[in-house]
Each structure stands twice: as structure tokens, then as C-alpha cells.
A and B are shown apart, each in its own frame.
Chain A
Amino acid sequence: MELFLQYIVAGVTYGTIYAIVAIGFNIIYNTTGIINFAQGEFVMLGGMTAFTLKEYMPLPLAIVSAVLITMIIGALIEMVFIRWLHKPSVLRMIIITIGLSILIRETALHIWGEGVTALPYFTGTSVTSVNLGGVFVSPQVFWAVGISSIMVLLLGIFFNFTLLGKQMRACSANREAARLCGISTQNMVTFSFMLSAAIGALGGCIVSPITYVQYDSGSQLAIKGFTVAILGGLGNSTAAVAAAMILGILESFSIWALPAAYKDVVSIAIMLIILFVKPSGLFGNAAAARLKEY
């Protein structure tokens, strides 16, 4: 029974990070119709930058700075590579963001090398644990789940109750109409990149102690994040969280049946099955599955 719960906890932990990546995907996709293949790299950058900065400042400050730096990088990416494109085709956008993901990854390789990095645990050490009904859970898991939940909550408030949030939703529902209402859609696009980058970076920081971050962590996460986003229905962030938990737990339990090396195969196989059978995801509808245009 304890083993069962242990698997669940592991699943929830990984599910949290997948949810964060998926939410990042959805924000940019909703506002622009672009799937940002470099989303995973934002997570990686957050974790790696914070790791470097913590040598010079207390951990909380390092994390905040890392998030801000990643936000700026996100904005720069949008302004330099994407802003001035005129009616780009889907294929072109996909290839550009893939190219960006490679570029960021290779730059990270040259800055930080191949080594693994990990932020120190926010509270306690790698061996402290809290006894939760017979299962030993690291306090970091609570930090991860807690901070993510707060983040999702804040995002909900942002999109539903603030002017900027509503403007972004208007932009995603109908860009032409939003422009006619005086909303600067160009700025909305930049802001969506900044927001996604910030979310990704924060996510990278909070799971770094548990999962470690290295220069190529980003690409792994991107595919899982995409799986989760599709599973929940592209663009639907609340469903993405649920889907992320499901995927995290399924993956966790797959170790039971298959060698650990095949863990990724399981999640990708799930993505392929969803794409073939019901691309609108578990919770979506056919209209949602029709891709948005940039």
C-alpha cells in the first residue's frame, strides 16, 4: 500500500512540472496559435540561471532574478524572431521554434557544460522527509505542489479579473476584433511569451532540487508538456493540470511493468494514441481541435 502511495506521490511531483510546461504552451498558443517548441527551454533556463545566481545572493532572490531574466529572454525571442513575420505558415513557425530550442540548448551547453545542476532544497535537505500516512514525502514536493497551485490560482485571477488578462483572452478569442477594440495585439503576443517564460522558469526552480536540471532537460519536458496539453485539449489549462496528474501517475506506475528506460516511450505512446483517436483531448471538443492561426 505504501509503495502504491509512493508511486502516486512521484507521479504528482512529475505531473506538476508537466502541468507547468503545458500551461506555458497553452498561454502562447491561445494568444498566438503558435506551439512554442522552446517552452521546455524556459524551464531549463530558470533552473540553471538560479543555480548560478545562488552563489551570489540568497536563494529566494536568486529564484526571482532567474525568473525575471528568463522573462526578458522570452520577450527578446518574440521581438527578434517572431514579431515581424508576416502571415507565416504553421510549418515555418514550427521549424523556427524548433531552431530556437536547439539554439538555446546549445548555448546552455556552452555556458554550463554537460553537468547536472540542482538547487538546494527550500526547506531541509535531500534526506528530510515528512511522514504522510506511511509514505515518506520530501518537503520539496509540498513546495512544488503548493507554489504551482498558487500560480494556477493567480493565473486564474489574472485572466478573469484583471484588465490585461481579459485583453489577452480577447486577443486569443479573435485577434482582429481585439485589434478593432484598441488592444495592441502585438504587445499581447510579447506579453504572452514573457508570461510563459516566467511560469516555466519558476517551475524549473521549484522542481530542480528533486529532478535536477541539465542543458538538455528542456526538450524532454517539451514533449511531455505537449502530450499533457493535447491530452487536456489544446488551449485548456485547467484540463491540462488534470491531464498532467494522470500522465505523471501513469508514467510512475509504468516502472512497475516496464524497465525504467521505457518510461518516455509510455508517455509518447499515449500522446500518439490521443492524436490518432481524439486530437481534441479527453476534455475537448472538435471545434477546439481545429488549430488556430497566427
Chain B
Amino acid sequence: MSSKFLHIFGFAAAIVAIQIFTQLTDTSFHLTQLTMTAYYSLLVIGLCMLIGYAGQISLGHAGFFAIGGYISAFLTTHDLTVLKGKPFVASLSKLGVLVMSKDTYGTELLTFNPWPACILSVCTVLIIAYVIGGPVLKLKGHYLAMATLGFGIIIYRIVLGTSSLGSADGISGVPGFSLLPGVMIGGSGSGKILNYYVAWGILIAGMTCLLNLISSRVGRALSAIHGAEDAAEAMGIPTANYKLKVFVLSAGFAAIAGVLLTHYNGSIGPSEASVMKSVRYVAIVAIGGMTSLWGAISMSLILNYLSLRGSFGTYDDAVFGVILILIMLFAPDGLIRRQVLGDLKSFFTRSAGKGVAL
């Protein structure tokens, strides 16, 4: 158990080191993409739980990300002034749920406060995931892949084709999200460094929760389900229920990532719901080793960052396609396999034990 905290601490230290490095080398502009990477990684680790521990593939996870982001964006930018007269609206205003804000042209709008908007959108995603999860998870193999793919495409088509969601342009002018007094995600004039640490802090918190889950009673049950589902059920584990819970959990992570990134960027577009994004996330989980959260988070850091930097140029989508093929052909268990890490560990401990002769 202590090794888990060692890894988390080491990771956190690396994150701090990166920030200090950019400060010293005066390359702070990197922080923006690194912050975005953190939010994308939140989705990736949730997806890794689903694929690696619940054994279910999802080719439509970008859909949950987009639903979360779009709902929050819509609620915080859509003018509700027309409803001002209604008593329900007035009481929401008094509670602070609705606030007066300004859009990009300076006109006054009555919109949702980011906090309630966030809660509403994440809850909506959780409900949707719960409702479709039941029937979807009963499917196997190709049918499951196609169903999740279809779900993602439906979301994409809806956001692309609905004018009140901005159609092809998406929604922009999304205000900053004040998590706590003094801690603001996005918005004008918000600190780059502060945002960087908030994003990575949230990701590390999420990672800690998942690592805890894996080494808990439920995590053990999930491994059992993945290994021999019929035997797991015979031992009293409610397999269908647990798989659904992991599905909803991973959707929740995706939704939170969507909401936070949308507020950080100040906008969201239909490309966030595209099939290519969903495929990209699966590729990252695959290359990291489907059952390895650390593999997923490190691959996400590297690949998402490079992609955001534009390092792949016009071959961006192609790169992820190639990764998928190469990994599936040659290393279906991913590059960072538990076995590899285990071998490395035993190699080093063996040498230490023998007392390396100089």
C-alpha cells in the first residue's frame, strides 16, 4: 500500500518539477497545453478503469466529455432574461444559482453560475450513462463496440446540428469557473501557474481515488469479474451491477473533464465529440497497457501534450491510428505491462541484495 503513495508523491513531484523547469527556462507558454493535457488525462484514467478493470470497450467516451462540456457551456452562456418574470427563476437568482454576467459584447445576461451548471451537467451525464449502461453492457464484442461507437456519433451529430449549441462553431465566451474563493479555472486574467496546479491537482486526486478503488474490496471483485465472470458471480459478486457502476464512474470522470476543460478554454466545439477523439482515448489506454492506470496517465501526458503542441501536424489522427494498429499487432497488453514493471523491480532488488561489486 505504501508503494501506491510513493508513486503518487513521485508523480506530483514530477509535475512540480516540470513547472519549475518551465519557469527557469522562460517557457511558461507550455503550461497551457500541459493544463489541457491534465484534463484530458482525467477522462483517460476513467476510461482505463472501464476497459482494463471492467473489461468493456467504449468507442464513444468523447460523447460523455462533450455532453458535460456543452451543458455547462450552454447554461453559463445562454441568456435566461426572458424568463426573469417567473417566480422560480427569481428564487434561483436569490440562491445564487443564476447570476448576471456579461457576454463578449458587454450586454448583460442572466445565466447560470458555473458551480450549479457543473453539478447539473455531471449529474445529467451520470443519469444518461446509468440509463444506457444497462442495455449496452449486456452486449458483447462487436455489438458492444458498435453500440458505443453509435452513441458517440449520435452525440456528435446532435451538437453539430443544433443551432442553439452553436452548430459547427460550438459555444464560446464560457466564463471562468471559480472553484473556491481565489481559485479560478479559466476566465480572463486567471493565472497560468494557478490553473496548471489546479488541473494537475484534480487529476492526481482522481488518480488517487481510482488507485484506492483498485486495491479495495471492489477492485478485487472487478479483477475477479474480468478473470472469470461466472465464478465471480457464483461467489456473490453482482457482476452486472458492478460493470454498470464502473461505466457510470468512467462517464463521470469524462464529464468532469469536459466541464473543467470547457471553462478553462472558454469554449467547446463539436470536434470534442468526434469519433476520432474517442478512438484517440482508446489508443492511449491501449498503449499504456489496458490494466495499468500509471501507463494510461503517462501515455496520456506524452501523447496528448505532443498532439496539442501540434507536433504531429496534419498527421495527428493518423498517428493515433498507427499507434492503435502497432500496439494491437505487436503488444496487445500495452507497452507498460505489469509484468515488465515487475521484472524491472526484481532486477533492481536482486542487484541490491547481492551488493554490487565495484
Q: Do A and B touch directly, given a CB cutoff of 8 Å in the complex?
A: yes
Q: Which residues of A contact B (CB under 8 A)?
A: 35, 81, 85, 88-92, 94-96, 98-103, 105-107, 109-110, 219, 223, 226, 230, 259, 261-262, 264-265, 268-269, 271-272, 275-276, 279, 291
In the assembled complex, B151 has its CB within 8 A of some CB on chain A: yes
* C-alpha spacing A259/B158, complex, angstroms: 11
* C-alpha spacing A95/B149, complex, angstroms: 12
Tell me the dominant secondary structure on chain A's binding face. Answer: helix
What number of residue pairs across chains A and B have CB atoms under 8 A from each other? 109
Given the complex, which residues of B lie within 8 Å of A101, measured CB to CB?
A: 321
Partner of A291, one of B140, B149, B320: B140
Partner of A94, one of B142, B315, B321: B142
Given contacts A98-B279, A275-B146, contact A223 B59 (CB under 8 A): no
Do A85 and B158 touch across chains, with their CB atoms under 8 A apart? no
- Sample (5) of A-B pairs whose CB atoms are under 8 Å apart: A99-B328, A102-B276, A103-B322, A259-B161, A291-B143
Do B150 and A85 touch across chains, with their CB atoms under 8 A apart? no
Given the complex, which residues of A lie within 8 Å of B162, measured CB to CB?
A: 261
* C-alpha spacing A91/B285, complex, angstroms: 13
Kindly name the residue among B141, B279, B322 whose own CB sees the greatest number of chain A CB atoms within 10 A. Answer: B141
Closest Cβ of chain B to A44, distance in Å, is: 15
Do A264 and B321 touch across chains, with their CB atoms under 8 A apart? no
* C-alpha spacing A12/B139, complex, angstroms: 31
Do B325 and A90 touch across chains, with their CB atoms under 8 A apart? no
Do A264 and B157 touch across chains, with their CB atoms under 8 A apart? yes
Do A268 and B318 touch across chains, with their CB atoms under 8 A apart? no
Given the complex, which residues of A lie within 8 Å of B324, measured CB to CB?
A: 95-96, 98-99, 102
* C-alpha spacing A271/B152, complex, angstroms: 13
Residues of B in contact (CB 8 Å), total: 42
Closest Cβ of chain B to A236, distance in Å, is: 15
In the assembled complex, B110 has its CB within 8 A of some CB on chain A: no
Do A96 and B154 touch across chains, with their CB atoms under 8 A apart? no
* C-alpha spacing A98/B152, complex, angstroms: 15
In the assembled complex, B299 has its CB within 8 A of some CB on chain A: no
Given the complex, which residues of B lie within 8 Å of A271, measured CB to CB?
A: 146-147, 150
Closest Cβ of chain B to A218, distance in Å, is: 12
Do B322 and A90 touch across chains, with their CB atoms under 8 A apart? no
* C-alpha spacing A261/B161, complex, angstroms: 5
Given the complex, which residues of A lie within 8 Å of B142, measured CB to CB?
A: 35, 90, 94, 291
Kindly name the residue among A98, A100, A291 whose own CB sees the greatest number of chain B CB atoms within 10 A. Answer: A98
Given the complex, which residues of B lie within 8 Å of A95, measured CB to CB?
A: 282, 286, 324, 328
Partner of B320, one of A102, A219, A261: A102
Do B57 and A106 touch across chains, with their CB atoms under 8 A apart? no
Output the nearest chain B residue to A34 by Cβ-Cβ distance.
B142
Closest Cβ of chain A to B178, distance in Å, is: 35
Closest Cβ of chain B to A149, distance in Å, is: 28
Given the complex, which residues of A lie within 8 Å of B328, measured CB to CB?
A: 92, 95-96, 99
Given the complex, which residues of A lie within 8 Å of B320, measured CB to CB?
A: 102
In the complex, chain B residues 256-314 whose Cβ is within 8 Å of any chain A Cβ: 275-276, 279, 282-283, 286, 314
